[in-house]
Amino acid sequence: MTTEDYEQLRRQMVRQQLRANGVHDERVLSAMYRVPRHEFIPPELRGHAYEDRPVPIGQGQTISQPLMVGHMTQLLALEGTERVLEIGTGSGYQTAILALLAQHVVSVERVEILADRARALLMRLGTGNAAVYAGDGTLGWPGCAPYDAILVTAGGPQVPPALQEQLAPGGRLVCPVGERDVQQLIVVRRTERGLTRSIDMKCVFVPLIGNAGWPDEPPA
């Protein structure tokens, strides 16, 4: 496909998948039009880059479907001045979206080979306000805390306590919580009265592995 072909597919994605299904934040829509999603997908699967479905990226991980990326990003209500923590870098696609919408992004990926790959790709694409680290995302990244927004792109049995501790006053945290095979999005906000929680839509993410997540291997 040509660059023009991919651009046309992105335009259709924004119009038919995102705007038509409840993603109305114009900044989010603009960011998802600008980021070349196909660059974050293995070459042999790039023909599926703009379909509304997850796509495998190797190491047992996926790039989330565009609608889920748009919806979760919209829940953060970013205005452009925020420091954002992302848990689960994966391909780096969500990182690139967040980097267009916030002042600075810290992203933590458990699988080192994916962290290295995403870091190199983001650098090649000129994303200069995102830092990618390899580590246990359930522990957050205390060295850069607090964060105005935290986005978790894997499903865990709970909202990791460390992430809630690293949330700044007025901050928003979006995390899939439930079983290993199905979750619900939980939105946590830090208010003057403390933490509040609300439940959003059902979702399916790869397991959140780590100290405050699932064990690396499911029980037999």
For residues 175 and 185, is the Cβ–Cβ distance under 8 A? Answer: yes
114, 61 Cβ separation under 8 angstroms: yes
Task: State the DSSP code for 65.
Answer: P
- At a CB cut-off of 8 Å and minimum separation 6, what does 200 contact? 75, 174, 184, 185, 186, 187
The answer to whether 66 and 91 have CB atoms below 8 angstroms apart is: no
Tokens of 38: 């196909």
Query: Residue 139's CB: how many other CB atoms inside 10 A?
Result: 18
Orientation of helix 26-34 relative to helix 66-75, angle to 10° = 140
Rounded to an integer, what distance in angstroms lies between the CA atom of residue 29 and that of residue 132?
A: 24
Q: Where are the beta strands (DSSP E) in 69-125?
A: 83-87, 104-109
What is the set of active-site residues?
A: 64
